[in-house]
Structure 1
Amino acid sequence: MKRDTLRIGGQELSSRFFIGTGLFPNPYIQQEAIKASGAEVLTFAIRRIQLDRSEDDSILQHVQEGGFRYLPNTSGASTAEEAVRIARLARASGLSDWIKVEISANERTLLPDPIETLKATEILVKEGFTVLPYTSDDPVLCKRLEEAGAAAVMPGAAPIGTGLGLLNPYHIGLIVEEANVPIIVDAGLGSVADAAQAMELGVSGVLMNTPVAKAKDPVRMAEAMKLAIEAGRLAYLSGRIEKKKYASASSGFNSLKLK
């Protein structure tokens, strides 16, 4: 059986679970949840990191020995110029050359600004960053971001932190069909059912923070999400049965006559 691996920007990943580091009750639970998730990629807002002393930063000091791939994000940026400046600071500090472009157009909904996101992606790709833009579930925009050089595209399932699940599975399916780069569903998921559903649509991975960090038991929830992502991926690769309008017997009748 062919090995099922995820490759982004030349980096091979065995886990398809990308996890955020914020909102956890304390650093110990954060660390245990990350461990239970099996995630290799950790994301965090650059604005929450002490770039001049990243080795002592409260967010990073507890996970530095894990061999993780850091995916800093530009959360809080409202323009492409601001996002680019934040990304440059992160790379200059030695944090990572991977960057999740996150530019919000509205503080209430935190929905991504499509124009500024595309602009920032184009600039950062030219500067040699491995860019993973967070965007809306617009198939056309996702394709434009891919064409701009994004290493992966990250459409949201629903607004950040809402836990509403996949509001438009049809669009996510279209995005996957058209994509030649990994599609990572980011934002809005709330349950293991949501994670499995996203993976069954053929996405390459799932990024989440709130559903794990804000669960009553974040460590167990991290493991549950890990299993859901793995199950959803396996189901997608296996190929589900077609939906039918009417019933069909699961076992046929034989020709023997009862006496």
Structure 2
Amino acid sequence: MQRLWSALVKFVLLAIIGSALLLAFAIVMANRQLPSLDALTAFRDSPGYVKIADFPHNLPEAVVAIEDDRFYLHDGVDYVGAMRAGIANLSDDLSQGASTITMQVARNFYLSRQKTYTRKLYEILLAYRIENALSKDEILEIYLNKIYLGQGAYGFGEAAETYFGKPVDRLTLAECAMLAGLPKAPSANNPVVNPRRARQRQAYILLRMLELGRITRAQYDAALLEPLRLK
């Protein structure tokens, strides 16, 4: 019996070591095939690109609060946030996703949305590379300009005009929270198509901003009461 246990332990250890070696080899090979980040640099010089300083303060705050509230703490991949989101999503479909903002930038520029282990590995490695090349504000700025927000609008600058008929720097807190709810599900949370669900998402984001200390109780209450005025 003792020999059997000894053989089993050796087998498990060899399997772990073998798996670790295979993973390391896969990471090395994947790193060699990663694209350059020239596309990100070129995008930042494209017409209509909005600098982060030109967004209303509440917009990036709302986006970070709902999409990646540990954005300024992690290095591109947030394993703590991923575990927390996985647990929360079992009971609440309004909670944030597991992908960080940096990972979403990597996916939107370079990868498909096909759910495979290979694509996820590339997404993680690209996220680390992006974090090493750009500042946090630069990454967030790219995200705010690139993400699809429904109704044919890419980026929050276009979305402000599409949904509210105004420049992005004139958005109210309530409107910022409404638009921040779109990246996860641009169709389901669309205020034009589904105003009730969009309102629910907006309220949840405002609550997250309040919980994180990004807005005051008075701002929260006022934003909840603000009527929805679409274009």
Q: Identify whether the pair has TM-score above 0.5, normalized to the shorter chain.
A: no
- Larger Rg over CA atoms: 2
TM-score, with structure 1 as normaliser: 0.29
- Higher helix proportion (structure 1 or 2): 2
TM-score of the superposed pair, with normalisation by structure 2: 0.32
- The structure in which a higher percent of residues are strand is 1
